[in-house]
Structure 1
Amino acid sequence: MSSVHTDYSEKRDFIRMRVDADVSLIHAGQVIAAICLDLSSSGMQVQAPRQFKVGDRLEVRIDSEYPALEGLEASTEVVWIADQPGGEQKLGLRILSMK
């Protein structure tokens, strides 16, 4: 079964935390400002202002608002896409590794 058609019952295997945080997506040397909608131990849902493809690799950075807490940096892969009005996309990102 391809990752595009992943059985959505697996989504319930991970607790998701609603975040609504500013994130930076790094792809092909470009930094793209986006919004992280939710986060789990294995992935995240992101609202992006431009088009990506399933299989694209993105570096994700979520900076911390608090000096005492480190931000999050992760290597991810786009596993699903939902096109949105205005050329935006919601992306399902699988976390490949944390930094």
Structure 2
Amino acid sequence: MSQGERDYSEKRDFIRMRIETTVVLLQEDQRIEALCLDLSSTGMQLEAPSSLKMGDKVRVLIPSEHSELKGLDAQTEVVRVQALDDGRQSLGLAILAMV
């Protein structure tokens, strides 16, 4: 399946929630604060001051504001990278597993 077909399929099959919240990316010994723009059951879109590449594995933490609810902790893979004008990256991450 081509990336274009996959993008179209994902738009039909999965609801994306716009959330715009701060998240933490963990990769090896790096800790990067990023902005999550949207989230679905299979992935998320972020903007981050990073230099990640396609295929990189990244752990994503979204803390919960409520003590009764566990935050999101997911192992992800970078599936889309776009450089932004301000030196940050727009990232598409596929969720591989919930930790």
Question: What is the TM-score of this pair, normalised by structure 1?
Answer: 0.91
Gaps of 5+ in 2: none
Deviations 1:16-65 (A, max 9, x none): 00010110000121110001100000000011112210000000000011
Question: What is the TM-score of this pair, normalised by structure 2?
Answer: 0.91
| Aligned pairs (5 A) from 1:42-81 | 42-81=42-81
Offset of 1:11 from its aligned partner? 2.1
User: What secondary structure sits across from 2:70 in the alignment?
Assistant: coil
| Aligned pairs (5 A) from 1:11-22 | 11-12=10-11, 13-22=13-22
Cα distance in 2 for residues equivalent to 1:67 and 1:10: 36
**How large is the RMSD of aligned CA atoms in angstroms?**
1.3
How many residues were matched structurally?
97
- Preserved CA contact (<8 Å) 1:63 1:71: yes
Offset of 1:66 from its aligned partner? 1.1
Cα distance in 2 for residues equivalent to 1:28 and 1:87: 21
- Preserved CA contact (<8 Å) 1:16 1:39: yes
